Structure 1
Amino acid sequence: KPVATERRSRPRDGRLRVLICEDETDVAAVIAALLDAEGFSSDVAPDIDTAMALLRTRDYVALTLDIKLAGESGIKLFHDIRASPVNSDISVIVISAVADEAKRSLNGTAVGIVDWLEKPVDSTRLHAALAKIVAGKVERRPRIRHVEDDEGVLAVMSAGLGPDVLIASAKTLQEARRAVAKHRYDLVILDIALPDGSGLDLLIDLPQETGVIVFSAAEMDEKLGDRVQAMMTKTRASEIDVAKLVRRMLVASRNAAGPTVQARE
């Protein structure tokens, strides 16, 4: 089974890559040819294990998914991907002889499925789905986890950040730990005083590349150093102040060479 040794979103020819989850060799070849004509590179995964291995080691702009995959459930693969710490928000195009049946089975849990295509593949609809994915992927929405037990603070922060980010909350330390174990986040906004412990205990669970802003009424240790990019006190800064800082940090991160934001308030 071909597995890449490094993560990169584009192969050497510079094209975006799509993962084809399909166990019928001739059908996979047709999809690969259609993708090639659209300017995409592709890999083929004939089963769930290969698909998950490739998703762990390569970045894909999208995947095509057959619901009946080598005697396994493509729906299970879909849920495994959504629960995975990598590529969990990948766009999916269902290409299956039972696309309508799958649509009914997922029953509202089909987050991130761009289209449902029956076999044989309609090249016009595939083109439209890929165009929609690329348009949405040009500027991927940053993923933020706000660890905070105050509903009011959560609501104001979410409104202040607006629709350009994907923000989810965690009201306890344990809930936050479960979330960061499953998903990668660009940024974590962290309260210290949580119902079941100190939010600072979450720091050990976060990858180094995840930015951290501490926003808390509790006293903060200035020795947190480089692991926390910003510390803001609720008595001296508002949720809108934090939202503005978040946007600046995300822009700096996106530009890659941008300086790390340091704030002590």
Structure 2
Amino acid sequence: DLNLPGESGISFLRELRRHPATASLPVVVVSAIAKSGQQQLGSVAVSVLDWLEKPIDEQRLLKAVSHAVKNGPRKGRRVLHVEDDPDIARIVATMLEGVADIDLATSLSVARERLSNSDYSLVILDIGLPDGSGLDLLPQIHAMDPPIPILVFSAQDLDDDIRGQVAAAFVKSRTDETSLVRAVSACLEESTIKKTEDRNKT
């Protein structure tokens, strides 16, 4: 929205485009002043996927968000999916096609090895695994520098204390594709920004 409390949405969008980590971040503008904002932004407006005036056309918004998620930048975005159910693994891989590159680990031991040898932007974690609980991976993931965001996608719900240790948590039977893809995309953007900030500090 271009009408932000205490800040101009136009200034915020210009700042996004100046920051290396968010220069190519997909943006959809939904605002009562979308048309005038488009004129004010000039050349920056070209980088916005869509401009929607309020009241919102829900179908157009969903189409724009779906396009942003599927066609956003994926360079360096690698996700470790810890899941022993091949059907769930295939479904998630299909959902995230074009969003990130997916590595599958079907057990704790494989996940530990991949975490030690590869650089990931996100871990999607099942709890019930053949050789233990996926939650046993939390200490290893949190100890990494920088820590990798964790999205739990499991048949089991989480206790509040565990929920506070992860970026997001979803129960498989209660989660639709749009919610999962949006959560994954948000985690990946956050991870990308943190990695860029860390590189700039060194």
What is the TM-score with the length of structure 2 in the denominator?
0.55
**TM-fit CA distance, 1:33:** 1.3
**TM-fit CA distance, 1:126:** 1.1
**TM-fit CA distance, 1:94:** 0.7
Q: For 1:52 and 1:60, locate their aligned partners in 2 and report how far apart those are by CA, in whole Å.
A: 12
Letter of the 1:91 partner, please give it: P
Partner of 1:140, secondary structure, is helix
What percent identity do the matched residue pairs reach?
A: 27
The alignment covers a number of residue pairs equal to: 128
**TM-fit CA distance, 1:70:** 1.4
Partner of 2:138, secondary structure, is helix
Aligned to 1:90: 148
Structure 1 residue 48 corresponds to structure 2 residue 101: no
Aligned to 2:122: 62
After TM superposition, list the pairs within 5 Å mapping 1:104-253 onto structure 2: 104=159, 107-111=160-164, 113-120=166-173, 121-140=175-194, 251=200, 253=202
Pick from 9, 26, 29: which aligns with 2:90?
Answer: 29
Bigger RCO of structures 1 and 2 (CA < 8 A, at least 6 apart) = 2
Kept in 2, the 8 Å contact 1:89–1:112? The answer is no
Pick from 10, 16, 28: which aligns with 2:77?
Answer: 16
Structure 1: segments with no counterpart, 5+ residues: 1-12, 143-163, 165-185, 187-249, 254-265
Q: For 1:122 and 1:67, locate their aligned partners in 2 and report how far apart those are by CA, in whole Å.
A: 19
Q: For 2:180 and 2:170, locate their aligned partners in 1 and report how far apart those are by CA, in whole Å.
A: 8
Letter of the 1:16 partner, please give it: R
Q: Write 1 or 2 for the structure with the bigger share of helix.
A: 2
The Cα RMSD (Å) is: 2.6
**TM-fit CA distance, 1:111:** 4.8
Letter of the 2:102 partner, please give it: S
Deviations 1:19-51 (A, max 9, x none): 000011111111111111x42110110111111
Partner of 1:18, secondary structure, is strand
**TM-fit CA distance, 1:139:** 2.1
Q: For 2:201 and 2:145, locate their aligned partners in 1 and report how far apart those are by CA, in whole Å.
A: 22
Structure 1 residues 125 and 87: alpha-carbon distance in aligned structure 2, compared to 1, 3 A threshold: farther
Structure 1 residues 53 and 119: alpha-carbon distance in aligned structure 2, compared to 1, 3 A threshold: same
Deviations 1:184-231 (A, max 9, x none): xx7xxxxxxxxxxxxxxxxxxxxxxxxxxxxxxxxxxxxxxxxxxxxx
Letter of the 2:194 partner, please give it: R
Letter of the 2:187 partner, please give it: I
Structure 1 residues 252 and 72: alpha-carbon distance in aligned structure 2, compared to 1, 3 A threshold: closer
Q: For 2:191 and 2:131, locate their aligned partners in 1 and report how far apart those are by CA, in whole Å.
A: 32
Structure number with larger C-alpha Rg: 1
Structure 1 residues 67 and 252: alpha-carbon distance in aligned structure 2, compared to 1, 3 A threshold: closer
What is the TM-score with the length of structure 1 in the denominator?
0.43
